[in-house]
Amino acid sequence: MSSDPSEPAARIDREIRPLPAPLSADVLAARRVLPAKPAGVELVGERVRLRPYEPADAPELHAISNGSPVARLGREIGVYDADELVWRYLFDGPFADAEGLRRVHDAIAAQPDARTFVVAERSSGALLGSISLLANHPAHLKVEIGSIWYTPAVQRTGVGMEVTTLVANHVFGLGYQRFEWKCNALNLRSRLFATRFGFTFEGIQEAHLIVKDRRRDTAWFRLLADEWSPAES
């Protein structure tokens, strides 16, 4: 056996692997029609409706996420810690007032590769939270779901599963091949949800970002088109 430490690297360097087969014309065609900014569609499920965010939504979004008692979908919650239950692992928040929330949501919604949606009760239209499609790359048929939050009144009720199913059905129906989920590596609830939903954990990018003056390590997950079967929300 050779003791030359460079031998494994040299052996790998000599190994030439074939490229995968080209994607079909039908798959590649989506790159020509998908917009740089995700479309502002409405998605309707059994209990929820997603529609494009509007600045006028800010007061209600603030009211359901600022620590005040709130009732939604027949469930009530009293005074709560808004940082602990909603905002701790997100880029911004908690917000002292609706104007602060509006500025942040407006900024996300204005990004050229993003689209922000509010999540509402299907029957009443009362707001439940907000999600965004981010980092949209039609040329590579990939998009991310992120900036996700729900009022504590509907957390652990299946709303997140219904919303994510609606969005996955939508993006894969459009022709995307990769659906991404990223979160603070410390956010164990988010990581557990991603795994339960069917996303595959790809690893942790350490010191990925600086958020609220702290280092953020980011956990990466992905779901591929050939791993997804259209599902009922």
pLDDT digits (tens, 9 = 90+) for 130-147: 999 999 999 999 999 999
Residue percentage of the chain with pLDDT more than 90 = 91
63 within a domain of the structure (yes/no): yes
80 within a domain of the structure (yes/no): yes
Using an 8 Å Cβ cutoff, are 87 and 100 in contact? no
187 within a domain of the structure (yes/no): no
Helix (H, G, I), strand (E, B) or coil at 206: strand
* Mean pLDDT on 101-118: 97
Q: What's 78's DSSP letter?
A: -
Assigned token pair, 213: 């003056």
Distances (CA, A) of 85 to 52, 114, 162, 181, 206: 24, 25, 20, 20, 24
H or E stretch covering 50: strand 48-52
- Are β-strands 115-121 and 48-52 bridged in parallel, bridged antiparallel, or unpaired? antiparallel
pLDDT digits (tens, 9 = 90+) for 21-74: 999 999 999 999 999 999 999 999 999 999 999 999 999 999 999 999 999 999
- In the beta sheet, which residues pair with residue 143? 179
- Per the structure, the count of domains in the chain is 1
Structure-derived torsion over alpha carbons of residues 25, 26, 28, 33, reported in degrees to the nearest 10: 130
Q: What is the domain-level CATH number for residue 114?
A: 3.40.630.30
Assigned token pair, 127: 């707001």
197 within a domain of the structure (yes/no): no
30 within a domain of the structure (yes/no): yes
Comparing CA positions, the residue from 190, 183, 179 lying closest to residue 219 is 183
| Residue 196 phi, psi (nearest 5) | -65, -35
214 within a domain of the structure (yes/no): no
124 within a domain of the structure (yes/no): yes
49: containing domain: 23-179
127 within a domain of the structure (yes/no): yes
pTM value?
0.92
Mean pLDDT of the chain: 95
The rounded distance, in Å, linking the Cα atoms of 183 and 206 is 12
